[in-house]
Structure 1
Amino acid sequence: MLQVESFVLGPVMTNCYLLYDKKGGRGLVVDPGSGSGEVVERIRELDLEIEAILLTHAHFDHIGGLEEVREAVGAPVYLHEKETDWLTDPDQNGSSLFPGVETVRCRPAEKVLKGGEQLKFLGQTIEVTHTPGHSPGSVSYRLDQAVFSGDVLFAGSIGRTDLPGGDYETLMRSIHDYMMELSEETTVYSGHGPVTTIGREQDSNPFVTGMIG
């Protein structure tokens, strides 16, 4: 059975997730933000072999600890093709836009996604869906009854669209055409804030219900 642990990292409290099969000794890391040393420590404590580092998108707060984790675990990085340049460019990943934020430059991703892939990790199939709007290369990773949505959908809210490459109408299409079509029981692991479910957001998220929009 897969375990999911969350770590709240960096200046804007970004969620990084560690998925692992304790019996098999294998794991995945999703969105390693700055200050990922505690993630690396946990990986070593559990004696895990990390099979991949999955990025939902390449804004600075989701990649600030990428190199630290990458060097520690030696796993390939997966990222959508529309944001491959963002890893190496502080202007595009946003780290140069906010005073007091450390400039983030990373090496390119080893694996480039288009959306629609089915990745095989931890004995599971992980479906990759392109869910743009918050950023042009945002993707969601779904396995079983869980989806890692990055900054697409939050508990009671949605991702911001005022950053470069963001578009509100595109984001709402991603939410309605993909996220809201998932089963109500699906657990949503967002880029910020608490875990929620699709059913809960269908019922009470004002952006989904039309109370805001």
Structure 2
Amino acid sequence: MKWTQIPLGPLQTNCYVVSDGNDCIIVDPGEEPQKIIQYIQTKKLKPLAILLTHAHFDHIGALDAIRDHYEVPAYLHEKEAKWLLDPALNGSLNWFPENPMRMKPADHIIANEQKLTIGGFTFDIFETPGHSPGSVSYFARDERLLFSGDVLFQGSVGRTDLIGGSEQVLLNSIDTKLLPLPDDTIVFPGHGPVTTILDEKNANPFLR
């Protein structure tokens, strides 16, 4: 399994294109759909699905453009199903009051922790609320790749001052769901550089 990090938009939100042969999964298409499409075309990849870690505006900005272009389904947790349609919930109303984001509903709703298989890709889905109520993390167990959204960053954790956020819930999510993963698990955060579970155990000041 290969991966590419593509920072997008004014907040440089990380979109990830994860590929296995010619097939790929797109994680958090936050903005600038043309950049995502160009990369996929250059690599001659075939998207199978879009995985959303959560529904804040900077993670969904290119969702419909990518979904329509490739005719692929999008996955999102049920607690944020309404956020795609509501600019006040997804935060775009505050950032872009003249052009708030209203996306089509997600094609597949994640209702609980489960194993998700799409083509040759298999992910364990962890419910990791705290940054937002429907935040999830996708873990490719065999490859030890974790897509954590805005839950865990290199040297930091997600903010908790937005709708449905809670510092206590966030730290509990990290402590019970993410830190028990193998130390060599590579963490792909929603912003900033990749890291590992071991590095965050040793050096993340928010987790001490």
TM-score exceeds 0.5: yes
1:66–1:106 CA contact under 8 A, matched in 2 = yes
- Residue pairs, 1:95-106, within 5 angstroms: 95-98=92-95, 102-106=99-103
| TM-superposed deviation, 1:105 | 1.1
Residue type of the partner of 2:70?
Answer: V
Residue type of the partner of 2:172?
Answer: R
- TM-score (norm. length: structure 2): 0.95
SS in 2 for 1:96: helix
Distance 1:122 1:102 in 2: 36
Where structure 2 has 5 or more consecutive residues not aligned to the other structure, the ranges are: none
Cross-structure match for 1:124:
121
Cross-structure match for 1:169:
168
Residue type of the partner of 2:179?
Answer: M
Q: Report Cα offsets for 1:145-185 as digits up to 9, x if no partner.
A: 11000000000000000011101100010010111111110
Cross-structure match for 1:156:
155
1:76–1:110 CA contact under 8 A, matched in 2 = yes
Q: Report Cα offsets for 1:86-135 as digits up to 9, x if no partner.
A: 00110000000125784111100010002322111342321111100000
Bigger Cα displacement from structure 2, 116-125 vs 149-158: 116-125
Aligned-residue Cα RMSD (Å) equals: 1.3
Cross-structure match for 1:67:
64
Which runs of at least 4 in structure 1 moved beyond 4 Å after TM superposition? 99-102
1:155–1:201 CA contact under 8 A, matched in 2 = yes
Identity across matched positions, percent:
46
SS in 2 for 1:129: strand
Count of aligned positions: 206
Residue type of the partner of 1:9?
Answer: L
Q: Report Cα offsets for 1:48-78 as digits up to 9, x if no partner.
A: 2211100000000000011111111111000
Q: Report Cα offsets for 1:29-65 as digits up to 9, x if no partner.
A: 0000111211111112222221110000000000001
- Flag the 1:184–1:91 CA change in 2: closer, same or farther, 3 A: same
Distance 2:117 2:98 in 1: 35
Distance 1:103 1:180 in 2: 36
Distance 1:110 1:124 in 2: 18
Distance 1:56 1:101 in 2: 26
- TM-score (norm. length: structure 1): 0.93
Equivalent position to 2:55, from 36, 55, 58: 58
- Residue pairs, 1:15-34, within 5 angstroms: 15-22=14-21, 25-34=22-31
Cross-structure match for 2:204:
205
Bigger Cα displacement from structure 2, 43-52 vs 146-155: 43-52
Cross-structure match for 1:13:
12
Q: Is 1:113 matched with 2:119?
A: no
1:114–1:130 CA contact under 8 A, matched in 2 = no
Where structure 1 has 5 or more consecutive residues not aligned to the other structure, the ranges are: none
Distance 2:122 2:85 in 1: 29
Cross-structure match for 1:78:
75
SS in 2 for 1:182: coil
Q: Is 1:189 matched with 2:188?
A: yes
